[in-house]
Amino acid sequence: MGRPPCCAKEGVKKGPWTPEEDLVLVSFVQENGPGNWRAVPAKTGLMRCSKSCRLRWTNYLRPGIRRGGFSEQEDRLIVHLQALLGNRWAAIASYLPDRTDNDVKNYWNTHLKKKLLLLEHNQTPSPSQSSTKGKWELRLQTDIDLARRALREALSVDRPCPSPATTTTMITSTAMTSSYVLSAKNVSMMLDQWAPPSGSSSSELLTDFASHASAHKNKDEAPLSAIESWLLCDDGAGAGEQHHQLLDAALHSFAF
DNA sequence: AATGCGATCAACCGCACATCT
DNA sequence: CAGATGTGCGGTTGATCGCAT
C-alpha cells in the first residue's frame, strides 16, 4: 500500500499564491504558530494543500528571509560547500544565514553552475597543472591537517560551543546525542595521537585514521563518539565522503 | 508589432524519515 | 508493533519575463 497523498487533490488550488492567501496564512501562523499544517486549509478556508502552505511559509513568508542579491562571499561559500557536500541544499543553506534551501538551490542551478562551467572552460590546463597530482594530494593533506586541528578545537570540552546554528547542524547531521560531548575529550586525544603517514594519498590518510580510531575502540576508553562513525562509515561512499565530513567539520569550526 | 527563445524562480511532486496513535 | 500522519528534502516543472530577431 502506497503512502496516501497529503491532502485531497480535488478542489485544491495550485500555482502562484495571491497576496490575500499570503495574508490568511500569515494570520494563521501568527495565531497558532508554525506547524500543524494539515489544519491550515480546514481552519482558514484556504484551498491549498497543507504541504503547499508549509512551503510558502518556510520559503517566503517566514520573517527574516533574505532573497536574491547573493554577495560574492556567499557565491564562494556556496560553491565550496557544494563541492564539499554535494547537492545537500538544506545543509548548505544552514551555513548561510537567512537563506532558504530552495533559494540556494535555484541560485546554484541558474547562476553558479554556469559560472563554474565557464571558469573551467577558460582554464586550459597548463603542462605543470596537468602533472600536479602531487600538488593536489598535498593540498588534500593540508585540508586534512586543517580538519584535524579544527576537530580537535571543536571537540575540546573546554572550548566554548560554536554558534547555535553550527552546533545544530553538526548534531543533526551526525545524529549525535549528549554522549557526543562526553566522549569529545577522547576523540580530541585520539586526534592528537594520530601521526599521519608521510607521502600517503588522501584516501590512505583517511584509511589510516580510520584504523587508528578503530584501534582505540577496543581499549578501555569511553565509547567513541559520532566522529568515529563518520570515519568508519561504511556507506559505500568511501574516503571521499569521509574527507568531506572532515572538511565539513573544519569549515564549521573556522567559520570559513 | 509579433514571435521565438533562453533565463529565472516559485511551486509542485515524490520519496524518506520521524513522530503519533 | 504497525499503520497513519507530519515534516524535510532534493529534483523537476511550468509560468513569466526580457531580449533578440
Could you check: is the Cβ of residue A110 within 7 Å of any atom of nucleic acid strand B?
yes
Could you check: is the Cβ of residue A113 within 7 Å of any atom of nucleic acid strand B?
no
Instruction: From the CA of A191 to the C1' of C9: give the distance in Å.
Output: 33
Tell whether the model's pLDDT for residue A217 goes beyond 50. no
Segment A77-92, tens digit of pLDDT: 888 888 878 888 888 8
Q: Are A229 and A244 in contact (CB under 8 A)?
A: no
Instruction: From the CA of A5 to the C1' of B14: give the distance in Å.
Output: 10
The residue written with cell numbers 588534500 in the block is A140
Q: Percentage of chain A surpassing pLDDT 70?
A: 41
3-state secondary structure of A188: helix
- What are the CA-CA distances from residue A105 to residues A88, A98, A171, A237 (Å)? 9, 14, 23, 23
3-state secondary structure of A97: coil
Q: Percentage of chain A surpassing pLDDT 90?
A: 0
pLDDT higher at A95 or A210: A95
pTM of the predicted model over 0.75: no
Angle between helices A202-217 and A239-254 (to 10 degrees): 80
- A157 secondary structure, DSSP code: T
